[in-house]
Structure 1
Amino acid sequence: MPIIRVIDGINEIVGRIVSIVAIVFAAIIIYDVFMRYFLGEPTRWAFDVTKQLYGFYFIMLGGYALRHQSHVRVDLLTARMGRETRRWVEAAGYLIFFFPFAWIFARHSWNFAMTSWSQAEVTYGAVQLPVYPLKMAMFAAAVLLLIQGVSEFLKLLLNKADHLEPMEPLDVR
């Protein structure tokens, strides 16, 4: 289905671009450590910037992680089920749990971001960085997660989900 390819493609591109942020915040941390311990000149901004970059990195990769089935799963009940049963149980899980959560996350993060934007919210540290871009990223991440959920749900309905192969039974001896 074209909609599945488009949604998967969007989250793939976003995931690959956002992964570069990890390199940026690692470089800032290395720079800060070098300045602090080797030159005795600590930076005032590095901690706040890396904290915000990590928050951006972490939140924005939710849709990408769902696309690659990298979210934590509790397969205690479904591990012994056949492919078809697992498919329908997962589809029900999307309807009952995922979509309501993702919708609430998107709705509340939008309100959260708009409040921050209207107040021109900044951090309270030594360097006052704007907070509203990170809160806008929360809304974008919620939308990416929600649309990726639509893609995964459609894959389940169309029997195109690759991750449903029967699992090895758990050895609980």
Structure 2
Amino acid sequence: MPIIRVIDGINEVVGRIVSIVAIVFAGIIIYDVFMRYFLGEPTRWAFDLTKQLYGFYFIMLGGYALRHQAHVRVDLVTERLGTQARRWVEVAGYLIFFFPFSWVFARRSFDFAMTSYKQGELTYGAVQLPVYPLKIAMFLAAVLLLIQGLSEVLKLVLSKTGHVEPMEPMDVR
């Protein structure tokens, strides 16, 4: 189904791009350690910046993790069920728990982001960085998670066998 391919493709591309942030913040940490312990010149900005980059990295990969079934599951009940029953329990879980949570997450993070942007909110560290980009990322992450949940439910509902073969990752070179 084209909508599944589009949603999965978006989260795959976002996941691959955002994974580069891990390299960036590791580089900043290494730079800061080098400056602090070898040159005796600690940076004022590295700690705050790496906190924000890690928050961005962590939050933005939720949809990507869901696409690859990397979230924690507790299958104590469903492991004894047949394929059809397991599939419908998963769909019910998405409808009862996942979608309401994702909607509240998206709605509240949008409000947080807009308030932060309007106030020009800054960090309170040695170097004051704007907070609103991270809060806007929270909203985008919530939307990505929400649409990936839609994709997962469509896969469950449209699957004849109850098992959906994972799609090949898109080539983003």
TM-score computed with the length of structure 2 as normaliser: 0.92
Displacement of 1:161 in angstroms is 4.2
Distance, in Å, in 2 between the alignment partners of 1:106 and 1:118 is: 18
Q: Deviations over 1:87-115 (max 9, x none)?
A: 00000000000000000000000000000
Please list every run of at least 4 consecutive aligned residues from structure 1 whose deviation after the TM superposition is greater than 2 angstroms. Answer: 160-163
Which amino acid is 1:145 matched to?
A: L
Q: Which residue of 2 aligns with 1:162?
A: 164
Contact 1:152-1:161 at 8 Å conserved across structures: no
Distance, in Å, in 2 between the alignment partners of 1:83 and 1:161 is: 8
Secondary structure of the residue aligned to 1:72 is: coil
Distance, in Å, in 1 between the alignment partners of 2:45 and 2:113 is: 23
- Describe how 1:46-65 pairs up with structure 2 within 5 A: 46-65=46-65
Displacement of 1:82 in angstroms is 1.5
Displacement of 1:162 in angstroms is 3.0
Displacement of 1:54 in angstroms is 0.1
Displacement of 1:80 in angstroms is 1.6
Q: Which residue of 2 aligns with 1:113?
A: 113
- Describe how 1:1-173 pairs up with structure 2 within 5 A: 1-159=1-159, 161-162=163-164
Gaps of 5+ in 2: 166-173
**151-160 vs 85-94, greater mean Cα deviation:** 151-160
Aligned residue pairs total: 163
Q: Deviations over 1:34-74 (max 9, x none)?
A: 00001100000000000000000000000000000000101
Gaps of 5+ in 1: 164-173
The alpha-carbon distance between structure 1 residues 63 and 161, as it changes in their structure 2 partners (threshold 3 A), is: farther
Which amino acid is 2:80 matched to?
A: R
Q: Deviations over 1:96-138 (max 9, x none)?
A: 0000000000000000000000000000010000000000000
Contact 2:156-2:164 at 8 Å conserved across structures: no
